[in-house]
Structure 1
Amino acid sequence: MTATVLLTLFLTSFLTGCMPATTQLPPAATQLSPAATPGGSETATPPVTPAPSGTAGVSAAAIQSVHFTAQGDIGVGKDAKRVLDTIAGLKPQLNLALGDFTYQAGIEKEFCAMVAEKLGADFPYELVTGNHESDGHDGDIRNFVQCLPNRLPGLTGEYGTQWYVDVPQQNPLVRIIMVSPGIKFHDGNTLDYSKNSPRWRWTAAAVDGAESQKIPWTVVGMHTPCLSIGKYDCLAGDDLTNMLMEKKVDLVLSGHNHSYQRTHQLSLREGCTALVPGRFSEACITDSDEAMVKGAGTVFATSGLGGAGLHQVKEDDSEIRYFAAWSGQNRRAAFGTLDVTATPDRLDATFVPAKGSSFRDSFIIEKK
């Protein structure tokens, strides 16, 4: 054997020994399926909507914080684009779109293209339907979920209507649960979230699953609010709202009112055995400053300033004493987004105005 051949064999053996071993990724976290599917039987397993490739960054086990934005009532005009620019500048890992997207039928692809242009084609812009697209009269949620598909791994349920996901998928910090109470669909029926209905039990089981898995934070989102100092009453229903308060969900997000409305921390307890829409009870408030303690209650935040025309807030509303901050057409008018960061011990939230607006609100919920 020649000296050249011997030298080649030696170098090949040496370099192969120096190459790093292939890293074995840990298996995906097991999803806890709630006890009832959306509108189905109590024992069936909800369908899982798979995420496209390219979302591994959101599910990495090393993530120590989750950063997301949330807003509804968007449209396709200049104010919607300013809000999207604001979101892009904040650089969140994902966005929760809380319903009411185009306010016009047949332009779903235009809306999706606008989002993709501002935030990127693969950005997790996660949808739940509003009333304008649920029955197809101002767009169709079935079209929106095609051009803005789920991009989070491990999502369980019916994307666009009723689903939950843990973020990140491994060692999650936040369980996000999105539901659709008080909204009519193509068959003319409003989805039933009354007490002990299949959808009520599905939501309750999703909340309980987060607690049993010791996920630090639980966030529930929907289009319709219950507590309101805007033009709508309790469309989400007091049964669902009281259940979320009883289970001390950390943060409940909504849109529908084209305004920003954020409550104090609220809870069911002695003197407040149930929240009654349209009636104020001091006993339901557990904390009224901007620094709150996890487990003491629930904060409700309507973030409906995504770009559509503003609504007025009613400062003479009987429920206004539940609220810590608000913005609307007639009071500190603004467009913008709620910006939320969750770490193992703290949830920070700030309303960030779009360019041309100045209203801000901030609050924290912290483990003690």
Structure 2
Amino acid sequence: MHFTAQGDIGLGAGAKKVLDVIAGLDPQLNLALGDFSYRAGGEQQFCDMVTGKLGTDLPYQLITGNHESNGEEGDIDKFVRCLPNKLPGLQGQYGIQWRVDVPEQNPVVRFILVSPGIDFKNGNPLDYSKGSERWRWTAEAIDQARSQGIPWTVVGMHVPCFSLGEKSCQAGKDFTNMLIDKKVDLVLSGHDHVYQRSHQVGLGGNCSELVPANFSATCLTDKDGSMEQGAGTVFVTVGVGGVELYNVKNNDPEVGYFSTWSGKNRNPALGTLDVTVSADQLAARFVPAAGYSFTDSFALHRR
């Protein structure tokens, strides 16, 4: 199967350029990783922009960002109404926390979309702390995919933990390490308006956990673009769906975890991640919008 993913979109010319790229790639579904209109009352305008570029049949699947989770610059409930779920078998609360296997019969990938680290209408974040109900829901969704023999597991959320942009570990250290410990294949995020792709990272041996704002080479399991499934997790931030880019910090203490990165001050590019998944391989590439040249590609292979 074939999907695209990006976050931090907006209503401007950049967003429309990225949607043109997605339309040309013709995926089976798109993961929109939060922060949609950046405008209170702009929900219908955003939905009309998306369907005008991509049509009404493409599953344009939503997970909330901080700009619409609390209702200040859009309301996730309104986005969900005008861009509803179109994937059969989805479980959970669409737009907030959900999972789905694709294809529905003989699936090759389980998507798990969650919302740690952002505030909702009551001013409080959802509880993804260790052992909480949402933590257990996520862990069980990962374990069940493994027990059912689904080849690949992809987790998506708005906020990253490790980043060379402006943001800190809003996703939470413990929650992030749980994803690594369970060997999730690919973790996607937005929030930081940069593109960044990690090396494959894993726990074990001399690496008991990854600690934000620090780097440990013992946590790296593979540093090239061709990686083996089960050795660790790849993290990709694709916060370049249309809005203004942030700078990347080449001297960030976490820089050792990353293979490549792009931001306002280094190889700037808007665009989308483009992913093709088979039973044996997950292959991904960054496809820039018109006027940009930065690219990236990597692959995970099943043992």
Q: TM-score, normalised by structure 1?
A: 0.82
Contact 1:193 1:239 in 2 (8 A): no
Aligned residue runs from structure 1 range 271-350, under 5 A: 271-350=206-285
- Residue 273 of structure 1 aligns with an amino acid whose one-letter code is S
- Residue 346 of structure 1 aligns with an amino acid whose one-letter code is Q
How far is 1:192 from its partner? 1.2
Cα deviation, 1:132-158, whole Å, max 9, x if unaligned, reads: 000100000000000000000000000
- Residue 228 of structure 1 aligns with an amino acid whose one-letter code is S
- Residue 232 of structure 1 aligns with an amino acid whose one-letter code is K
Residue 218 of structure 1, aligned match among 145, 153, 159: 153
Residue 151 of structure 1, aligned match among 82, 86, 95: 86
* Distance (whole Å) between structure 2 residues aligned to residue 330 and residue 105 of structure 1: 30
How far is 1:350 from its partner? 0.1
Cα deviation, 1:83-121, whole Å, max 9, x if unaligned, reads: 000000001000000000011100100000000011011
- Residue 222 of structure 1 aligns with an amino acid whose one-letter code is M
- Tell me the secondary structure at the aligned position of residue 92 of structure 2: strand
* Distance (whole Å) between structure 1 residues aligned to residue 218 and residue 142 of structure 2: 24
Cα deviation, 1:247-274, whole Å, max 9, x if unaligned, reads: 0000000000001010000000111101
* Distance (whole Å) between structure 2 residues aligned to residue 98 and residue 329 of structure 1: 20
Residue 50 of structure 2, aligned match among 108, 115, 119: 115
- Tell me the secondary structure at the aligned position of residue 284 of structure 2: strand
- Tell me the secondary structure at the aligned position of residue 109 of structure 1: helix
What residue in structure 2 maps to residue 189 of structure 1?
124
Cα deviation, 1:212-243, whole Å, max 9, x if unaligned, reads: 10000000000000011110110000111000
- Tell me the secondary structure at the aligned position of residue 164 of structure 2: coil
- Residue 252 of structure 1 aligns with an amino acid whose one-letter code is V
What residue in structure 1 maps to residue 174 of structure 2?
239
Cα deviation, 1:33-77, whole Å, max 9, x if unaligned, reads: xxxxxxxxxxxxxxxxxxxxxxxxxxxxxxxxx100000000010
How far is 1:123 from its partner? 1.1
- Tell me the secondary structure at the aligned position of residue 48 of structure 2: helix
Residue 253 of structure 1, aligned match among 175, 182, 188: 188
- Residue 227 of structure 2 aligns with an amino acid whose one-letter code is M
- Tell me the secondary structure at the aligned position of residue 267 of structure 2: coil
RMSD: 0.5
How far is 1:189 from its partner? 1.0
How far is 1:367 from its partner? 1.2
- Residue 80 of structure 1 aligns with an amino acid whose one-letter code is A
- Residue 168 of structure 1 aligns with an amino acid whose one-letter code is P
* Distance (whole Å) between structure 1 residues aligned to residue 251 and residue 161 of structure 2: 17
* Distance (whole Å) between structure 2 residues aligned to residue 319 and residue 93 of structure 1: 34
- Residue 78 of structure 1 aligns with an amino acid whose one-letter code is A
Instruction: Could you tell me which runs of 5 or more consecutive residues in structure 2 were left unpaired when the two chains were aligned.
Output: none
How far is 1:280 from its partner? 0.3
Residue 133 of structure 1, aligned match among 57, 65, 68: 68
Contact 1:104 1:138 in 2 (8 A): yes
- Residue 19 of structure 2 aligns with an amino acid whose one-letter code is L
* Distance (whole Å) between structure 2 residues aligned to residue 116 and residue 359 of structure 1: 27
Residue 163 of structure 2, aligned match among 225, 228, 236: 228
How far is 1:200 from its partner? 0.6
* Distance (whole Å) between structure 2 residues aligned to residue 347 and residue 151 of structure 1: 23
Instruction: Could you tell me which runs of 5 or more consecutive residues in structure 1 were left unpaired when the two chains were aligned.
Output: 1-65
- Tell me the secondary structure at the aligned position of residue 208 of structure 2: coil
* Distance (whole Å) between structure 2 residues aligned to residue 367 and residue 135 of structure 1: 40
How many aligned positions are there?
303
Contact 1:164 1:175 in 2 (8 A): yes
Contact 1:207 1:249 in 2 (8 A): yes
- Residue 133 of structure 1 aligns with an amino acid whose one-letter code is E
* Distance (whole Å) between structure 2 residues aligned to residue 107 and residue 121 of structure 1: 18
* Distance (whole Å) between structure 1 residues aligned to residue 76 and residue 8 of structure 2: 14
